[in-house]
Amino acid sequence: MKENAAISTAEQRQAERFAPLQGRTGRISLSIEGQAEIYGILVLRDLSPFGVGIELSQSVETGRQIRLTYEESNLALEVVGTVAWQKQAKPSDSDRPNQKQYQLGIALCPANIAKNINFFRYMAGAQ
């Protein structure tokens, strides 16, 4: 995917989506409301101020409330949302052919639009 290129809107989200800026050194993780586990995100596929597409090794039920956190040396960004859809995907890393991966579409909470926009701008390199 081209850095910062628009993604087709043919799927679920109606807003224009962008590829994340490559080369970020931080860690992005997902936690599910009511659970203690924190899952590392394998791939941040696309994003907009209204939603995020990710790949994860964990299946997450549609409708679950989640929190995405991006942490880097002196920066922490956090957004909350709901799993809008999920589907099983083929592993993108040929070294792990038996590992299951899931693509998830996350609808970000519109009540937190300022945080959503900050997350989008930083991750898409649109600052």
pLDDT tens for 74-124 read 999 999 999 999 999 876 555 555 667 899 999 999 999 999 999 999 999
Q: What is the pLDDT of residue 72?
A: 93
Considering only the top CATH level, what class is 24-124? mainly beta
> What phi and psi, each to the nearest 5 degrees, are found at residue 111?
-70, -20
Q: Which of 16-20, 43-47, 68-72, 116-120 has the lowest mean pLDDT?
A: 16-20
Q: How far apart are CA 105 and CA 110, in angstroms?
A: 15
Rounded Cα distance between 113 and 121, Å, is 12
3-state SS class at 36: coil
Predicted structure pTM score = 0.80
The span from the CA of 73 to the CA of 51, in Å, is 25
Q: Please state the domain extents for the chain.
A: 24-124
Top pLDDT among 121 and 14 is at 121
Give the residue from 41, 106, 53 showing the smallest Cα distance to 80.
106
